[in-house]
Structure 1
Amino acid sequence: MFKRNKEIRQAKGDIPLWAIAERLGVHENTFYNWMKTEMIGERRQKVIVAIKEIREELQKD
């Protein structure tokens, strides 16, 4: 099986992909399509930042 974006998948843990997509302001189908190919550059950074922000919010609750 192909596993692309391993770092993102590990970082997201149990955060649903739709929540990350919502944070990024894109449709969840768009985000699923992004996950099909290895992300690089600015897009990758934005996703990682979004995951960190969501994690911080979850820890506050």
Structure 2
Amino acid sequence: MFKKRNENIEKAKGSIPYWVIAEKLGVHENTIQNWMKKEMDEERQRKVMLAIEQIKKQIGKER
């Protein structure tokens, strides 16, 4: 029916809420959710994935 978009980001983010990723990128949570509705260009995907990696590292340090 509908093609899954940005699957790599969905997989990478796991249980990280969109608002945390948005905060890291300096955008509103709704912006991230809108980006997820369409396949992102490579540059935007790279930025989002980098933010997710940084969040995961931070979470790991806090444990």
Pick the TM interval, shorter chain. Answer: over 0.9
Determine the structure 2 residue equivalent to 1:18.
19
The aligned runs of 1:49-60 (5 Å cut-off) are: 49-60=50-61
What's the counterpart of residue 33 of structure 1?
Answer: 34
**CA RMSD across the alignment:** 1.0
| Runs of 4+ that moved beyond 4 A | none
Aligned partners of 1:56 and 1:25: how far apart in 2?
Answer: 18
State how far apart, in whole Å, the 2-side matches of 1:34 and 1:46 are: 12
The TM-score normalised by the length of structure 2 is 0.90
Tell me the matched-pair count.
Answer: 61
Shift of 1:3: 2.0
CA radius of gyration, larger in: 2
What TM-score does the superposition give when structure 1 sets the normalisation length? 0.93
- Partner of 1:42: helix, strand, or coil? helix
Give 2:57's aligned amino acid.
E
Unaligned runs of 5+ in 1: none
